[in-house]
Amino acid sequence: MKEYEAVIGMEVHVESKTNSKMFCSCINGKGLEDQPNINICPICTGHPGTLPVPNREALVKITRFGQALNCQISDYTWFERKSYFYPDLPKGYQITQYERPLCYEGNIEILTSKGPKYIRITRIHMEEDTGKLSHINGKTVVDYNRAGLPLMELVTEPDIRNAEEAKIFCEELQLILRYLDISDGDMDKGQMRCEVNISLREKGTEAFGTKVEIKNLNSFRVVEQAIEYEIIRQTEVISQGGEVVQETRGWDDSKSITFSQRKKENAHDYRYFVEPDIPPFETSAIITDAASITAELPIAKRKRFLDEYQLAIQQVEILVRNKALADYFEQTISELKAWIKADNKEFTPEETTKLIKLSANYILTELIKHYSEKGLSFDNSPISPENYAEFIKIVFSGEVSSTGAQTLLLQMIETGSDPSDIVESQGLKQVSDTNALQGIVDQVITENPKVVLDYQNGNENVLQFLIGQVMRYSKGSANPQIAKQILHDTITQNK
Protein backbone atom coordinates (compact mmCIF):
# COMPACT_ATOMS: atom_id res chain seq x y z
CA MET A 1 0.00 0.00 0.00
CA LYS A 2 1.14 3.51 -0.80
CA GLU A 3 2.08 5.77 2.05
CA TYR A 4 0.85 9.34 2.12
CA GLU A 5 1.98 12.42 3.94
CA ALA A 6 -0.04 15.50 4.80
CA VAL A 7 1.02 18.92 3.55
CA ILE A 8 -0.48 21.57 5.80
CA GLY A 9 -0.39 25.35 5.75
CA MET A 10 -2.12 27.66 8.19
CA GLU A 11 -3.78 31.03 8.05
CA VAL A 12 -4.22 32.72 11.39
CA HIS A 13 -6.11 35.94 12.08
CA VAL A 14 -5.29 37.80 15.28
CA GLU A 15 -6.99 40.88 16.72
CA SER A 16 -4.35 43.08 18.23
CA LYS A 17 -4.67 44.73 21.60
CA THR A 18 -4.70 48.48 21.02
CA ASN A 19 -6.48 51.47 22.52
CA SER A 20 -8.55 52.20 19.45
CA LYS A 21 -9.74 50.66 16.18
CA MET A 22 -7.52 50.45 13.10
CA PHE A 23 -8.63 53.59 11.25
CA CYS A 24 -10.82 55.57 13.67
CA SER A 25 -10.90 56.55 17.34
CA CYS A 26 -13.60 54.07 18.44
CA ILE A 27 -12.26 52.11 21.40
CA ASN A 28 -10.86 48.61 21.15
CA GLY A 29 -11.63 47.11 24.51
CA LYS A 30 -13.82 45.08 26.74
CA GLY A 31 -17.57 45.48 26.89
CA LEU A 32 -18.03 45.56 23.12
CA GLU A 33 -20.00 42.35 23.27
CA ASP A 34 -22.57 43.76 25.70
CA GLN A 35 -24.72 45.71 23.28
CA PRO A 36 -24.66 45.72 19.48
CA ASN A 37 -23.68 48.75 17.41
CA ILE A 38 -22.70 51.05 20.27
CA ASN A 39 -19.02 51.31 19.45
CA ILE A 40 -19.19 52.61 15.91
CA CYS A 41 -18.63 55.88 14.07
CA PRO A 42 -18.96 57.19 10.51
CA ILE A 43 -15.41 56.01 9.68
CA CYS A 44 -15.71 52.34 10.70
CA THR A 45 -19.20 52.14 9.22
CA GLY A 46 -17.93 53.51 5.93
CA HIS A 47 -19.92 56.69 5.53
CA PRO A 48 -18.99 58.67 2.45
CA GLY A 49 -16.58 61.54 2.89
CA THR A 50 -14.83 60.13 5.98
CA LEU A 51 -11.10 59.72 6.21
CA PRO A 52 -9.39 56.66 7.71
CA VAL A 53 -6.17 57.29 9.67
CA PRO A 54 -3.92 54.25 10.39
CA ASN A 55 -3.43 53.31 14.03
CA ARG A 56 0.28 53.60 14.76
CA GLU A 57 0.09 51.38 17.86
CA ALA A 58 -1.31 48.56 15.72
CA LEU A 59 1.47 49.02 13.16
CA VAL A 60 4.15 48.92 15.88
CA LYS A 61 2.61 45.77 17.36
CA ILE A 62 2.38 43.85 14.08
CA THR A 63 5.97 44.85 13.34
CA ARG A 64 7.06 43.51 16.73
CA PHE A 65 5.17 40.29 16.00
CA GLY A 66 7.02 40.04 12.68
CA GLN A 67 10.36 40.64 14.39
CA ALA A 68 9.59 37.87 16.91
CA LEU A 69 8.94 35.52 14.00
CA ASN A 70 12.21 36.45 12.30
CA CYS A 71 10.41 38.22 9.45
CA GLN A 72 11.75 40.73 7.00
CA ILE A 73 9.99 44.06 7.53
CA SER A 74 9.05 46.17 4.51
CA ASP A 75 10.77 49.53 4.64
CA TYR A 76 8.00 51.11 2.62
CA THR A 77 4.42 49.93 2.33
CA TRP A 78 0.78 50.87 1.78
CA PHE A 79 -2.81 49.69 2.19
CA GLU A 80 -5.15 48.33 -0.47
CA ARG A 81 -8.89 48.05 -0.82
CA LYS A 82 -10.26 44.54 -1.17
CA SER A 83 -13.71 44.88 -2.68
CA TYR A 84 -16.46 42.39 -2.01
CA PHE A 85 -20.00 42.52 -0.80
CA TYR A 86 -21.06 40.94 2.45
CA PRO A 87 -23.48 42.34 5.04
CA ASP A 88 -20.85 42.30 7.81
CA LEU A 89 -18.63 44.61 5.76
CA PRO A 90 -20.17 48.08 5.99
CA LYS A 91 -17.87 49.82 3.51
CA GLY A 92 -18.29 47.27 0.72
CA TYR A 93 -14.53 46.82 0.84
CA GLN A 94 -11.95 45.93 3.46
CA ILE A 95 -8.80 47.99 3.96
CA THR A 96 -5.99 45.44 3.95
CA GLN A 97 -2.52 44.83 2.56
CA TYR A 98 -1.95 42.84 -0.58
CA GLU A 99 1.14 43.50 -2.67
CA ARG A 100 3.50 44.53 0.09
CA PRO A 101 2.72 43.00 3.49
CA LEU A 102 4.43 44.73 6.40
CA CYS A 103 6.16 41.47 7.46
CA TYR A 104 7.29 38.62 5.20
CA GLU A 105 9.65 35.62 4.95
CA GLY A 106 9.94 34.67 8.60
CA ASN A 107 10.06 31.47 10.59
CA ILE A 108 9.17 30.07 13.97
CA GLU A 109 10.81 27.26 15.91
CA ILE A 110 8.43 24.82 17.60
CA LEU A 111 9.26 21.92 19.92
CA THR A 112 7.45 18.76 18.86
CA SER A 113 7.61 15.28 20.41
CA LYS A 114 10.13 14.44 17.68
CA GLY A 115 12.33 17.46 18.40
CA PRO A 116 12.57 21.06 17.22
CA LYS A 117 11.16 22.09 13.86
CA TYR A 118 11.00 25.33 11.88
CA ILE A 119 7.79 26.49 10.20
CA ARG A 120 8.31 29.20 7.59
CA ILE A 121 6.07 32.26 7.72
CA THR A 122 5.10 33.58 4.30
CA ARG A 123 3.67 36.91 5.42
CA ILE A 124 1.90 38.86 8.14
CA HIS A 125 -0.17 41.80 7.00
CA MET A 126 -2.35 44.42 8.65
CA GLU A 127 -6.05 44.80 7.96
CA GLU A 128 -9.35 45.62 9.66
CA ASP A 129 -11.85 43.18 11.10
CA THR A 130 -15.41 42.86 9.84
CA GLY A 131 -18.65 43.06 11.82
CA LYS A 132 -20.52 40.03 13.08
CA LEU A 133 -23.70 38.43 11.80
CA SER A 134 -26.02 36.53 14.14
CA HIS A 135 -28.87 34.38 12.97
CA ILE A 136 -31.75 34.59 15.42
CA ASN A 137 -35.22 33.07 14.89
CA GLY A 138 -34.91 32.98 11.12
CA LYS A 139 -33.67 36.56 10.98
CA THR A 140 -30.14 37.81 10.53
CA VAL A 141 -28.90 40.77 12.53
CA VAL A 142 -25.60 42.59 12.20
CA ASP A 143 -23.33 44.09 14.85
CA TYR A 144 -20.60 46.48 13.69
CA ASN A 145 -18.84 46.85 17.06
CA ARG A 146 -16.07 44.58 15.77
CA ALA A 147 -15.87 46.26 12.35
CA GLY A 148 -12.59 48.11 11.98
CA LEU A 149 -10.70 46.44 14.84
CA PRO A 150 -7.02 45.96 13.97
CA LEU A 151 -6.52 42.49 12.56
CA MET A 152 -3.28 40.75 11.64
CA GLU A 153 -3.34 37.98 9.07
CA LEU A 154 -0.50 35.48 9.19
CA VAL A 155 0.09 32.88 6.48
CA THR A 156 2.58 30.01 6.70
CA GLU A 157 4.34 27.99 4.05
CA PRO A 158 2.99 24.41 3.80
CA ASP A 159 5.62 23.10 6.22
CA ILE A 160 3.36 21.39 8.76
CA ARG A 161 3.04 17.62 8.45
CA ASN A 162 0.63 16.50 11.14
CA ALA A 163 -1.98 17.55 13.69
CA GLU A 164 0.48 17.74 16.57
CA GLU A 165 2.72 20.22 14.75
CA ALA A 166 -0.28 22.37 13.82
CA LYS A 167 -1.52 22.47 17.40
CA ILE A 168 1.91 23.29 18.84
CA PHE A 169 2.39 25.96 16.17
CA CYS A 170 -0.88 27.66 17.18
CA GLU A 171 -0.05 27.38 20.89
CA GLU A 172 3.37 28.90 20.34
CA LEU A 173 1.92 31.80 18.34
CA GLN A 174 -0.52 32.50 21.18
CA LEU A 175 2.32 32.46 23.72
CA ILE A 176 4.41 34.89 21.68
CA LEU A 177 1.42 37.23 21.33
CA ARG A 178 0.89 37.12 25.08
CA TYR A 179 4.55 37.52 26.00
CA LEU A 180 4.76 40.63 23.83
CA ASP A 181 1.31 41.87 24.92
CA ILE A 182 0.27 42.15 21.28
CA SER A 183 -2.96 40.23 21.84
CA ASP A 184 -4.50 37.95 24.45
CA GLY A 185 -5.09 35.53 21.58
CA ASP A 186 -8.13 33.97 23.26
CA MET A 187 -9.57 31.63 20.67
CA ASP A 188 -12.95 31.31 22.35
CA LYS A 189 -13.33 35.10 22.18
CA GLY A 190 -12.40 35.13 18.50
CA GLN A 191 -9.20 37.08 19.17
CA MET A 192 -7.27 34.35 17.36
CA ARG A 193 -8.90 32.38 14.52
CA CYS A 194 -7.25 29.50 12.68
CA GLU A 195 -7.77 28.07 9.24
CA VAL A 196 -6.01 25.05 7.89
CA ASN A 197 -5.34 24.06 4.31
CA ILE A 198 -4.43 20.46 3.87
CA SER A 199 -3.63 18.06 1.06
CA LEU A 200 -2.02 14.64 0.83
CA ARG A 201 0.77 13.46 -1.38
CA GLU A 202 2.59 10.19 -1.79
CA LYS A 203 5.56 10.07 0.56
CA GLY A 204 8.78 10.99 -1.20
CA THR A 205 7.10 13.06 -3.95
CA GLU A 206 7.24 16.83 -4.26
CA ALA A 207 4.06 17.82 -6.09
CA PHE A 208 1.11 18.99 -4.00
CA GLY A 209 -2.24 17.23 -4.05
CA THR A 210 -5.59 19.03 -4.19
CA LYS A 211 -6.02 21.06 -1.06
CA VAL A 212 -9.01 21.44 1.18
CA GLU A 213 -9.52 24.44 3.45
CA ILE A 214 -10.97 23.96 6.91
CA LYS A 215 -12.39 27.14 8.43
CA ASN A 216 -13.61 28.35 11.80
CA LEU A 217 -11.46 26.22 14.06
CA ASN A 218 -11.98 27.85 17.42
CA SER A 219 -9.72 25.91 19.78
CA PHE A 220 -6.36 24.14 19.72
CA ARG A 221 -8.12 20.84 20.31
CA VAL A 222 -10.36 21.39 17.29
CA VAL A 223 -7.36 22.30 15.08
CA GLU A 224 -5.81 18.98 16.06
CA GLN A 225 -8.97 16.90 15.67
CA ALA A 226 -9.98 18.42 12.34
CA ILE A 227 -6.56 17.67 10.83
CA GLU A 228 -6.54 14.11 12.17
CA TYR A 229 -10.00 13.56 10.73
CA GLU A 230 -9.16 15.11 7.37
CA ILE A 231 -5.98 13.03 6.94
CA ILE A 232 -8.02 9.86 7.42
CA ARG A 233 -10.81 11.07 5.13
CA GLN A 234 -8.49 12.07 2.29
CA THR A 235 -6.43 8.88 2.63
CA GLU A 236 -9.62 6.85 2.22
CA VAL A 237 -10.74 8.85 -0.82
CA ILE A 238 -7.38 8.45 -2.54
CA SER A 239 -6.80 4.80 -1.67
CA GLN A 240 -10.25 3.93 -3.03
CA GLY A 241 -9.21 5.46 -6.35
CA GLY A 242 -11.20 8.67 -5.86
CA GLU A 243 -10.10 12.28 -6.13
CA VAL A 244 -10.06 14.87 -3.38
CA VAL A 245 -12.32 17.79 -4.30
CA GLN A 246 -11.06 21.32 -3.83
CA GLU A 247 -13.47 22.81 -1.34
CA THR A 248 -14.00 24.62 1.94
CA ARG A 249 -15.01 22.46 4.87
CA GLY A 250 -16.25 23.28 8.33
CA TRP A 251 -15.92 21.42 11.63
CA ASP A 252 -18.88 19.79 13.34
CA ASP A 253 -17.86 19.52 16.95
CA SER A 254 -20.79 17.37 18.05
CA LYS A 255 -19.95 14.69 15.46
CA SER A 256 -16.17 15.34 15.40
CA ILE A 257 -16.11 15.47 11.60
CA THR A 258 -15.37 17.99 8.88
CA PHE A 259 -18.19 18.67 6.41
CA SER A 260 -18.35 20.28 2.99
CA GLN A 261 -19.41 23.92 3.09
CA ARG A 262 -18.83 25.02 -0.46
CA LYS A 263 -17.01 23.77 -3.52
CA LYS A 264 -14.28 26.06 -4.72
CA GLU A 265 -15.53 28.52 -7.28
CA ASN A 266 -12.99 30.34 -9.39
CA ALA A 267 -10.69 32.56 -7.40
CA HIS A 268 -12.46 35.72 -6.28
CA ASP A 269 -11.60 38.88 -8.09
CA TYR A 270 -11.34 41.33 -5.25
CA ARG A 271 -10.28 44.20 -7.51
CA TYR A 272 -7.49 45.23 -5.20
CA PHE A 273 -6.26 48.77 -5.63
CA VAL A 274 -4.17 51.11 -3.54
CA GLU A 275 -6.28 52.77 -0.82
CA PRO A 276 -6.50 56.35 -2.11
CA ASP A 277 -7.23 57.85 1.34
CA ILE A 278 -4.04 56.62 3.01
CA PRO A 279 -0.69 57.64 1.52
CA PRO A 280 2.04 54.97 1.30
CA PHE A 281 4.43 55.27 4.22
CA GLU A 282 7.98 54.54 5.32
CA THR A 283 8.37 52.24 8.30
CA SER A 284 11.79 53.03 9.81
CA ALA A 285 10.36 54.87 12.85
CA ILE A 286 7.82 52.08 13.41
CA ILE A 287 10.56 49.45 13.21
CA THR A 288 12.62 51.32 15.81
CA ASP A 289 9.65 51.59 18.17
CA ALA A 290 8.80 47.91 17.70
CA ALA A 291 12.37 46.84 18.45
CA SER A 292 12.27 48.76 21.71
CA ILE A 293 9.52 46.45 23.02
CA THR A 294 11.78 43.98 24.75
CA ALA A 295 10.66 40.67 26.15
CA GLU A 296 12.21 37.26 26.43
CA LEU A 297 10.35 35.01 24.00
CA PRO A 298 8.96 31.65 25.15
CA ILE A 299 11.50 29.59 23.21
CA ALA A 300 14.39 31.46 24.83
CA LYS A 301 12.80 31.16 28.26
CA ARG A 302 12.39 27.40 27.80
CA LYS A 303 16.04 26.96 26.92
CA ARG A 304 17.21 29.16 29.76
CA PHE A 305 14.99 27.44 32.35
CA LEU A 306 16.26 24.00 31.32
CA ASP A 307 19.80 25.21 31.46
CA GLU A 308 19.77 27.43 34.51
CA TYR A 309 17.39 25.56 36.83
CA GLN A 310 17.77 21.98 35.64
CA LEU A 311 14.06 21.31 35.91
CA ALA A 312 12.24 18.54 34.05
CA ILE A 313 11.07 19.52 30.59
CA GLN A 314 7.39 19.08 31.59
CA GLN A 315 7.88 21.42 34.55
CA VAL A 316 9.52 24.02 32.33
CA GLU A 317 6.63 23.78 29.89
CA ILE A 318 4.03 24.49 32.59
CA LEU A 319 6.02 27.50 33.78
CA VAL A 320 6.65 28.92 30.29
CA ARG A 321 3.01 28.57 29.25
CA ASN A 322 1.94 30.91 32.02
CA LYS A 323 4.10 34.01 31.95
CA ALA A 324 2.85 35.28 35.32
CA LEU A 325 3.73 31.92 36.84
CA ALA A 326 7.19 31.89 35.25
CA ASP A 327 7.81 35.43 36.55
CA TYR A 328 6.63 34.41 40.02
CA PHE A 329 8.96 31.42 40.04
CA GLU A 330 11.91 33.55 39.00
CA GLN A 331 11.21 36.22 41.60
CA THR A 332 11.23 33.47 44.23
CA ILE A 333 14.52 32.11 42.96
CA SER A 334 16.14 35.52 43.00
CA GLU A 335 14.95 35.99 46.62
CA LEU A 336 16.48 32.65 47.55
CA LYS A 337 19.75 33.43 45.78
CA ALA A 338 19.95 36.75 47.56
CA TRP A 339 19.39 34.91 50.84
CA ILE A 340 22.18 32.43 50.13
CA LYS A 341 24.49 35.29 49.25
CA ALA A 342 23.59 37.56 52.15
CA ASP A 343 23.96 34.83 54.75
CA ASN A 344 27.19 33.70 53.17
CA LYS A 345 25.88 30.20 53.15
CA GLU A 346 28.33 27.60 52.00
CA PHE A 347 25.87 25.99 49.61
CA THR A 348 27.16 23.32 47.26
CA PRO A 349 25.79 23.53 43.71
CA GLU A 350 23.76 20.40 44.54
CA GLU A 351 22.13 22.08 47.52
CA THR A 352 21.28 25.15 45.46
CA THR A 353 19.72 22.94 42.78
CA LYS A 354 17.77 21.12 45.49
CA LEU A 355 16.43 24.43 46.79
CA ILE A 356 15.37 25.50 43.29
CA LYS A 357 13.66 22.17 42.65
CA LEU A 358 11.85 22.41 45.97
CA SER A 359 10.53 25.84 44.94
CA ALA A 360 9.37 24.52 41.57
CA ASN A 361 7.77 21.42 43.09
CA TYR A 362 5.64 23.27 45.63
CA ILE A 363 4.51 25.76 42.97
CA LEU A 364 3.71 23.13 40.37
CA THR A 365 1.94 20.69 42.67
CA GLU A 366 0.48 22.59 45.63
CA LEU A 367 0.14 26.25 44.65
CA ILE A 368 -1.27 25.62 41.17
CA LYS A 369 -3.83 23.22 42.63
CA HIS A 370 -4.96 25.55 45.43
CA TYR A 371 -5.00 28.61 43.19
CA SER A 372 -7.11 26.95 40.54
CA GLU A 373 -9.55 25.65 43.20
CA LYS A 374 -9.88 29.12 44.68
CA GLY A 375 -9.88 30.98 41.37
CA LEU A 376 -6.67 32.84 42.22
CA SER A 377 -3.96 33.85 39.77
CA PHE A 378 -0.23 34.41 39.93
CA ASP A 379 -0.66 37.95 38.56
CA ASN A 380 -2.29 38.77 41.82
CA SER A 381 -0.95 36.15 44.18
CA PRO A 382 -2.02 36.32 47.85
CA ILE A 383 1.42 34.92 48.66
CA SER A 384 4.12 37.36 47.62
CA PRO A 385 7.27 35.87 46.05
CA GLU A 386 9.18 37.07 49.16
CA ASN A 387 6.86 35.13 51.46
CA TYR A 388 6.94 32.10 49.20
CA ALA A 389 10.75 32.15 49.25
CA GLU A 390 10.56 32.38 53.03
CA PHE A 391 8.27 29.35 53.04
CA ILE A 392 10.78 27.37 50.93
CA LYS A 393 13.59 28.28 53.37
CA ILE A 394 11.46 27.00 56.27
CA VAL A 395 10.71 23.70 54.49
CA PHE A 396 14.28 23.32 53.27
CA SER A 397 15.73 23.75 56.74
CA GLY A 398 13.30 21.18 58.17
CA GLU A 399 11.67 23.71 60.48
CA VAL A 400 8.24 22.30 59.60
CA SER A 401 7.30 18.73 58.68
CA SER A 402 5.77 18.05 55.28
CA THR A 403 2.34 17.91 56.93
CA GLY A 404 3.12 21.18 58.65
CA ALA A 405 4.17 22.65 55.31
CA GLN A 406 0.75 21.89 53.83
CA THR A 407 -0.99 23.62 56.73
CA LEU A 408 1.40 26.54 56.53
CA LEU A 409 0.85 27.02 52.80
CA LEU A 410 -2.94 27.02 53.17
CA GLN A 411 -2.71 29.56 56.00
CA MET A 412 -0.49 31.74 53.82
CA ILE A 413 -3.06 31.65 51.01
CA GLU A 414 -5.88 32.49 53.43
CA THR A 415 -4.15 35.30 55.29
CA GLY A 416 -1.28 36.48 53.09
CA SER A 417 0.78 36.62 56.29
CA ASP A 418 4.48 36.09 56.79
CA PRO A 419 5.15 32.33 57.06
CA SER A 420 7.49 32.69 60.06
CA ASP A 421 4.71 34.46 61.98
CA ILE A 422 2.27 31.66 61.10
CA VAL A 423 4.74 28.96 62.19
CA GLU A 424 5.11 30.79 65.49
CA SER A 425 1.43 31.56 66.15
CA GLN A 426 0.12 28.15 65.05
CA GLY A 427 2.88 26.15 66.73
CA LEU A 428 3.86 24.48 63.46
CA LYS A 429 7.54 24.21 64.26
CA GLN A 430 8.66 20.66 63.62
CA VAL A 431 9.58 18.95 66.86
CA SER A 432 12.77 16.94 66.44
CA ASP A 433 13.62 17.07 70.09
CA THR A 434 13.46 13.47 71.37
CA ASN A 435 12.44 14.43 74.88
CA ALA A 436 9.54 16.52 73.64
CA LEU A 437 8.33 13.70 71.37
CA GLN A 438 8.76 10.93 73.92
CA GLY A 439 5.75 12.19 75.91
CA ILE A 440 3.48 12.07 72.86
CA VAL A 441 4.82 8.65 71.86
CA ASP A 442 4.14 7.27 75.34
CA GLN A 443 0.58 8.58 75.21
CA VAL A 444 -0.02 7.02 71.76
CA ILE A 445 1.36 3.67 72.97
CA THR A 446 -0.87 3.69 76.07
CA GLU A 447 -3.97 4.49 74.04
CA ASN A 448 -3.37 1.86 71.35
CA PRO A 449 -2.39 -1.34 73.16
CA LYS A 450 -3.78 -3.66 70.45
CA VAL A 451 -1.87 -1.99 67.64
CA VAL A 452 1.29 -2.01 69.72
CA LEU A 453 0.84 -5.73 70.29
CA ASP A 454 0.41 -6.27 66.54
CA TYR A 455 3.68 -4.49 65.95
CA GLN A 456 5.41 -6.55 68.62
CA ASN A 457 4.08 -9.66 66.86
CA GLY A 458 5.84 -8.62 63.69
CA ASN A 459 3.21 -6.65 61.75
CA GLU A 460 5.41 -3.77 60.65
CA ASN A 461 2.69 -2.06 58.63
CA VAL A 462 0.90 -0.79 61.75
CA LEU A 463 3.81 1.48 62.62
CA GLN A 464 2.58 3.94 60.01
CA PHE A 465 -0.72 4.21 61.88
CA LEU A 466 1.09 4.97 65.11
CA ILE A 467 3.26 7.60 63.41
CA GLY A 468 0.04 9.12 62.11
CA GLN A 469 -1.27 9.32 65.68
CA VAL A 470 1.90 11.05 66.85
CA MET A 471 1.51 13.54 63.97
CA ARG A 472 -2.11 14.10 64.98
CA TYR A 473 -1.33 14.70 68.64
CA SER A 474 1.51 17.01 67.74
CA LYS A 475 -0.74 18.87 65.26
CA GLY A 476 1.63 17.94 62.45
CA SER A 477 4.66 19.39 64.15
CA ALA A 478 6.47 16.13 64.95
CA ASN A 479 9.37 15.16 62.77
CA PRO A 480 8.01 11.87 61.36
CA GLN A 481 11.44 10.26 60.93
CA ILE A 482 12.33 10.87 64.56
CA ALA A 483 8.84 9.89 65.74
CA LYS A 484 9.24 6.61 63.89
CA GLN A 485 12.54 5.90 65.57
CA ILE A 486 11.26 6.69 69.08
CA LEU A 487 8.11 4.61 68.54
CA HIS A 488 10.14 1.64 67.38
CA ASP A 489 12.66 1.95 70.19
CA THR A 490 10.03 2.40 72.90
CA ILE A 491 7.83 -0.48 71.75
CA THR A 492 10.68 -2.95 71.31
CA GLN A 493 12.27 -2.00 74.65
CA ASN A 494 8.97 -2.60 76.43
CA LYS A 495 8.49 -5.96 74.82
CB of 96 or CB of 145, closer to Zn ion: 145
User: In angstroms, what is the minimal distance from the CB of 30 to Zn ion?
Assistant: 17
Helix pair angle (323-342, 385-396), 10° resolution: 60
CB of 12 or CB of 24, closer to Zn ion: 24
Binding-site size, Zn ion (CB under 5 A): 5
Residue 205, helix vs strand vs coil: coil
Our finding on whether 44 is near Zn ion (CB under 5 A) is yes
Our finding on whether 452 is near Zn ion (CB under 5 A) is no
User: In angstroms, what is the minimal distance from the CB of 41 to Zn ion?
Assistant: 3
Q: Which of 76, 85, 65, 83 has the alpha carbon at shortest distance from 15? A: 65
The neighbouring-strand residues paired with 154 are 12, 124
CA dist 130 and 278 (Å) reads 19
Binding window for Zn ion (CB under 5 A); candidates: 35-43, 221-229, 319-327, 358-366? 35-43
Q: Which of residues 384-443 bind Zn ion (CB under 5 A)?
A: none
Our finding on whether 24 is near Zn ion (CB under 5 A) is yes
User: In angstroms, what is the minimal distance from the CB of 357 to Zn ion?
Assistant: 53
Q: Concatenated DSSP letters for 353-416?
A: HHHHHHHHHIIIIIIHHHHHHHT--GGG-SS-HHHHHHHHHHHHTTSS-HHHHHHHHHHHHHH-
In this structure, are strands 212-217 and 76-77 parallel, antiparallel, or unpaired?
unpaired
User: In angstroms, what is the minimal distance from the CB of 59 to Zn ion?
Assistant: 17
Q: Concatenated DSSP letters for 141-180?
A: EEE-TTTT-EEEEEEE-S-B-SHHHHHHHHHHHHHHHHHT
User: In angstroms, what is the minimal distance from the CB of 24 to Zn ion?
Assistant: 3
User: In angstroms, what is the minimal distance from the CB of 78 to Zn ion?
Assistant: 21
CB of 44 or CB of 103, closer to Zn ion: 44
Q: Phi and psi dihedrals of 94, rounded to 5?
A: -110, 135
Our finding on whether 486 is near Zn ion (CB under 5 A) is no
First CA to last CA distance, the chain: 76
Our finding on whether 27 is near Zn ion (CB under 5 A) is no
- Residue 392 CB neighbour total at 10 angstroms: 25
CB of 38 or CB of 245, closer to Zn ion: 38
User: In angstroms, what is the minimal distance from the CB of 42 to Zn ion?
Assistant: 7
CB of 44 or CB of 222, closer to Zn ion: 44
- Answer for which of 6, 8, 14, 26 binds Zn ion (CB under 5 A) is 26
Residue 307, helix vs strand vs coil: helix
Which residues lie near Zn ion (CB under 5 A)? 24, 26, 41, 43-44
